[in-house]
């Protein structure tokens, strides 16, 4: 089992560790709140947060270990930004003959055109045709390598 975990991509390992870590922190806070809180609402909400992170991490680990992840690698050819704060909104990746548009989730700040981007998604993630691009419905983890020399 340990060998299988080490064979997973680093980006997936990082996401699994973060999610299990959040579950552990919420479990510790749940125990503390059960010992100290007089009302049931705080422990109940922490129990729901714990269950969410535990399920999320377990589902990601199951997808990765059962081979239901796809890896999409390509060069970032364009970066779409929000109008006012200039945060990245979408990445455009050149993958073989197709251009894939990837909606950014979270705070991704270090992507630039010319970087090698690897996206990990579920094999059941929806892909749509949108304005001549292939729109990927969602992703589980992303890895960005600087510049074209990393290819």
pLDDT tens profile 29-57: 999 999 998 888 999 999 999 999 999 99
Indicate if the pLDDT at residue 150 is higher than 50: no
User: How confident is the model at residue 151, as a pLDDT?
Assistant: 45
User: Could you give the CA distance from residue 41 to residue 49 in angstroms, rounded to a whole number?
Assistant: 12
User: How confident is the model at residue 37, as a pLDDT?
Assistant: 81
Chain segment 57-116, per-residue pLDDT in tens: 999 999 999 989 999 999 999 888 888 888 888 889 999 888 999 888 877 777 888 889
Inter-helix orientation angle 41-65/10-36, to 10°: 160
User: Could you give the CA distance from residue 118 to residue 38 in angstroms, rounded to a whole number?
Assistant: 48
Residue 125 has a CB neighbour count (10 Å cut-off) of 16
User: Could you give the CA distance from residue 47 to residue 86 in angstroms, rounded to a whole number?
Assistant: 37
Q: Burial letters for 62-73: b for 16+ Cβ neighbours within 10 Å, e otherwise?
A: ebbeeeebeebe
pTM for this prediction:
0.82
């Amino acid at each position: 089992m340990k060998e299988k975990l080490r064979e997973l991509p680093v980006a997936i390992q990082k996401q699994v560790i973060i999610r299990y870590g959040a579950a552990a922190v919420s479990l510790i806070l749940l125990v503390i709140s059960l010992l100290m809180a007089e009302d049931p609402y705080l422990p109940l909400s922490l129990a729901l947060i714990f269950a969410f992170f535990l399920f999320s991490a377990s589902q990601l680990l199951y997808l990765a270990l059962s081979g239901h992840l796809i890896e999409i690698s390509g060069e970032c050819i364009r970066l779409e930004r929000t109008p006012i704060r200039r945060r990245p909104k979408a990445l455009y990746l050149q993958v073989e003959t197709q251009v894939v548009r990837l909606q950014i989730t979270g705070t991704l700040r270090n992507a630039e055109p010319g970087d090698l981007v690897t996206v990990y998604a579920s094999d059941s993630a929806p892909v749509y045709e949108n304005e001549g691009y292939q729109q990927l419905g969602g992703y589980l983890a992303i890895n960005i390598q600087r510049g074209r020399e990393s290819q």
